[in-house]
A and B are shown apart, each in its own frame.
Chain A
Amino acid sequence: MIRKTLLVAATAAALAQPAVAQDARIGLLFGISGAISAMSPTMVEAARLAIEQVNAQGGILGGRTLVPVLGDSGCNPQNATDAASKAVNIDRVLAIVGPSCSGAVLAAANSVTVPAGVTIVSPSSTSPQVTKLADKDLVFRTVPSDAYQGAALARALLARGVRTVAVTYLANDYGTGLGESFKAEFEAHGGKLAAYQAHDGAKASYRSELSRLARSGADTLVIFDYGDGTGLTILRQALENGFFRNFVGADGMKSEAMIRAIGAKNLGTLLVSAPVGAGDAALEIFRRDFTARGGNPDGIFATTSYDAAFLLALAIEHAGGDRSKIAASLRAVATAPGEPVLPGEWAKAKKLIAEGRDIDYKGAAGDHEFDAHGDVPGTYALFRIAGDTFEAVTRME
């Protein structure tokens, strides 16, 4: 029985080998099933956009096709390590975009990608634990750590004259991280938190929580949650019951699902923050390209996913396809100085790399100047809803 099993397994694995090994493969590990399954399709599509642009503009490593290998990290360590192991060992990917969730990143990095020497770039893992990871410089993120966005949002609100708020945050690492960094910065600069509480992500009704929050007297509610999930429920129930006048959220709340479900005209007092590039051009190009492909550029982590994939493609090209050199190449192509390369400019970048010139990718979600830990500082903008979509109001310092 055991022998039969192993025979079947070996055969299956053998059959799973691709017929041709002439393509360059890149792993896409996203949380397709699990806690963030609602967000994953857009993230996957954004990453695929980058790969399609690469292939349409001449291919990679001398005309080869860049092939995405999709894996499901399930937002838990068991699935993530398994998917990473397959991507690294069976598909022999050169690098990996993902995983999406911080716990998955920690596990996959610790047990598979770091020992195997494969570079990974996560577009959505925001936990500070990833910063402290002993990762031989193989783990990067295109999304800034929570610590930045919460603090930046606090400063932005204070700058707009908002001195008292109530905060409710989702009890997971995303919401908690934002909540803590927001609280620290807001109070440090003279703001007052009239209420600060966590909420569970699995409920259908939050009216009792909202009532408690509203009793604090603040007229602005800061919601650290996902607009594709219970953030939507909370916002809707707050609006319907007349709790709070103004609403603020972080990038998780910058979701089209809210506009669709609640209606743009009801969301006039909503402000959300999201990471952006230093200039507006990169974001505009991405929006245009992604919309043309049928995607939603305002989707959560769409920009960071795109950037992660495009950056890795650039790094692979720069490193000549050598797995061990990709991390160093990633730093080279992402950080200044260098000739600026914007989203979609693959042909231009290829030419520059071939000529041996230094390039500096300016992404849709930021300039991605990786620090020593592979983290990026955040530059953010505040958005509000205009028409049927989000428009930037101001940059946040």
Chain B
Amino acid sequence: MDLYEFINFHLIPGLLLGSIYALGAIGVTLVFGILRFAHLAHGDMLTLGAFLALGVAGLTGLDPWFALPVAMALTAGAALLIDATCYDYLRERPRILTVMASLGVALMVRAVVQMGWGTDPTTYATGIVRPTEYLGWFLLRDRELMTFAAVIVLVAVLEAFLRLTRWGRAMRAMSDNPDLARLCGVDNRQVIRLTWVIVGMLCAAAGFLLGINTEVWAMMGWWALLPIFAAAILGGVGRIDGAVLGGLVIGLAEELSVLVVPAQYKSATAFVILLLVLLFRPRGILKGKVL
């Protein structure tokens, strides 16, 4: 296999998938850090976001990329609603109950999607798109370039938000030590709501990007859940940069695994990495917290 093939059929798809996983992992790590539980409904929120974008694009005739911000807003709203009805009353109880509640939420969201849109795979646009060659080495499509760009922009904006704004600092404070944060005047409830808004938006973006690069269908998020969790834990829980790094590593690992193991074990890659991390380096590569 030559370098050209390696770059274009293993490296780039791996990075593409990895950046989508990264967006998902950032959401998971935010929930781990601030709300302190494993958000098992994360995958199905991705699915919801993807379908909402599909719905908006279909209703308004907009280009799907313009439907994306609308979908992000809608998903953020859904996340707030779900938190208010399904997680809020469990705040003072052991976290494990919230994890179970999130599993129930996952099923409900998926059922809603199936009832609303059916189970056939669909796409944002029909037809196939051949890539353009750049610099004689790289084969890329517009949608892939835009995916990379979108991920970079979203991550940059989020980082800026967390570092430079008051609310961002409040989120980080709460992630580090909620009691101390409250003592310093941080309104934990507002921070929690803000977190869900951000998580909802990230889920919608990740779901949309996954859908636009492959297909949109009801199980898409559930199948991405474990790789996303693996990415968040691999990178280090509670760290955005960890989530990004973890996502890229997992995405690459999946696409490269085909070179060493039979293709039907592709799914196992993320699981195995996850298990290894949990056993040998639970704080992850960038040393996040072990909750």
Contact = CB atoms under 8 A, between A and B. Distances in A.
Interface of A: 37-38, 40-41, 168, 171, 197-200, 202-205, 207-212, 215, 228-229, 232-233, 236, 239-242, 257, 260-263, 266
Given A228-B120, A241-B131, A257-B120, A197 B126 contact: no
B248 to A, nearest CB: 14
B190 interface: no
A331 to B, nearest CB: 35
B9 A210 contact: yes
B1 interface: yes
Contact of A241 (B9, B120, B215): B9
A37 B5 CA distance: 36
B122 interface: yes
Q: Which of B118, B215, B264 has the most CB of A within 10 A?
A: B264
Q: Which of A212, A215, A233, A261 has the most CB of B within 10 A?
A: A261
B259 A212 contact: yes
B214 A204 contact: yes
B250 interface: no
Given A208-B259, A215-B5, A261 B17 contact: no
Contact of B214 (A168, A205, A228, A263): A205
Per CB-CB distance, the 9 closest pairs between chain A and chain B, nearest first, are A211-B9, A171-B264, A208-B258, A198-B264, A37-B119, A207-B13, A263-B127, A204-B214, A202-B223
A37 B217 CA distance: 11
A236 B266 contact: no
Interface of B: 1, 5, 8-10, 13-14, 16-17, 114, 118-123, 126-131, 139, 141, 210, 213-215, 217-220, 223-224, 254-259, 262-267
B214 A261 contact: no
Contacts of A260: 126
Given A261-B123, A262-B126, A262-B127, 20 more contacts: A37-B114, A171-B264, A198-B262, A198-B263, A199-B266, A200-B264, A205-B213, A208-B10, A208-B255, A208-B259, A209-B266, A212-B258, A229-B121, A239-B128, A240-B128, A241-B8, A257-B121, A261-B121, A261-B215, A263-B128
Nearest to B120: A38
B258 to A, nearest CB: 4
B264 A199 contact: yes
A214 to B, nearest CB: 8
28 contacts: A37-B218, A41-B119, A168-B263, A171-B264, A197-B263, A198-B264, A202-B223, A202-B267, A203-B254, A204-B17, A204-B210, A204-B223, A205-B17, A207-B9, A207-B255, A208-B10, A208-B255, A208-B258, A211-B1, A228-B120, A233-B214, A240-B129, A242-B130, A257-B120, A261-B121, A261-B122, A261-B215, A263-B126
Nearest to B10: A208
Given A200-B265, A233-B215, A205 B13 contact: yes
A266 B128 contact: yes
B258 A209 contact: yes
Nearest to B5: A211
Contacts, number: 107
A63 to B, nearest CB: 36
Q: Which of B129, B214, B218 has the most CB of A within 10 A?
A: B214
Nearest to A168: B263
A228 B9 CA distance: 24
B223 A208 contact: no
Nearest to B11: A208
B263 A266 contact: no
A200 B267 contact: yes
A242 B130 CA distance: 8
A240 B131 contact: yes
Contacts of B16: 205
Contacts of B210: 204
A242 B259 CA distance: 20
A168 B258 CA distance: 13
B49 to A, nearest CB: 15
A253 to B, nearest CB: 14
Nearest to A243: B9
A210 B5 CA distance: 11
Contacts of A168: 263
A229 B254 CA distance: 20
A208 B5 contact: no
Contacts of B213: 204-205
Nearest to A262: B128
Contacts of B139: 241
Nearest to A175: B264
B131 A200 contact: no
Contacts of B267: 200, 202-203
Nearest to B257: A208
A353 to B, nearest CB: 38
A232 B121 contact: yes
A200 to B, nearest CB: 5
A228 B17 CA distance: 22
Q: Which of A41, A197, A211 has the most CB of B within 10 A?
A: A211
A209 B266 CA distance: 10
B9 A208 contact: yes
B122 to A, nearest CB: 7
Contacts of B123: 261
Contacts of A40: 119
Contacts of B256: 208
A42 to B, nearest CB: 10
Contacts of B264: 171, 198-200
